[in-house]
Amino acid sequence: MKVLALSGSLRRDSYNTKLLHAAARLLPDGAELEPWDRLKEVPPYDEDDDVEPAPAAVAALRAAIAGADALLVATPEYNSSIPGQLKNALDWVSRPLAKNPLRGKPVAVVGASTGAFGAVWSQGELRKVLAAMGGRVVEAGVAVGHAPMRFEGDHLVDTELREQLAEVVAALVSGTAVGAASRVAA
């Protein structure tokens, strides 16, 4: 089972990217996390450009989501909301809505910030966006506040946060199983 991991931060030493690495170590056997690291290449959404063939990075992201069993997004928070480049990439993926690859796909959102609140508002808004796209959104999240104190390298050292992250990852993976079972049943 493949979980695509998307970090909403472009920064090389991003805490959100580290959070995804921490999540990778919490996946059950048989599941692997595949980072998607081309977010910076996605051009600004323009309906005039939304034709076939899609811009290379857009086509790659759509294909990566289509080929994954689930999506895990780690988002920072810019001005109480979703970073523009992450939202822009999701806007590309969402078109056309009826055929977008996120439809029915389990997706979870986590976040880290250097401030106290761990991108909690950004996570909420991102869940709304992903639900509008038709994703099967895991309700629980993880808010890693004061991020510089929570990581050693890309290891999440806060036990409680690590347990929360494990729960989110477990919910994401179990959502995949249920979805697959119902697809078989149907």
- Tell me: does residue 135 bind another protein (CB under 8 A): yes
DSSP 119: T
Residues numbered 82 to 101 that lie near another protein (CB under 8 A) are 96-99
List CB contacts of 49: < 8 A, sequence separation 6 or more.
43, 55
CA distance 81 to 103: 23
- Tell me: does residue 134 bind another protein (CB under 8 A): yes
> What size, in residues, is the chain?
186
- Tell me: does residue 177 bind another protein (CB under 8 A): no
Q: How far is the CB of 154 from another protein (least distance, A)?
A: 31
**Region binding another protein by CB under 8 A among candidate stretches 5-13, 32-40, 114-122, 177-185:** 177-185
Residue nearer to another protein on the CB measure, 66 or 97:
97
Q: Which of 81, 94, 6 is nearest to 47 (CA)?
A: 94
- Tell me: does residue 141 bind another protein (CB under 8 A): no
Q: Which of 68, 137, 161, 165 binds another protein (CB under 8 A)?
A: 137
CA distance 18 to 107: 18
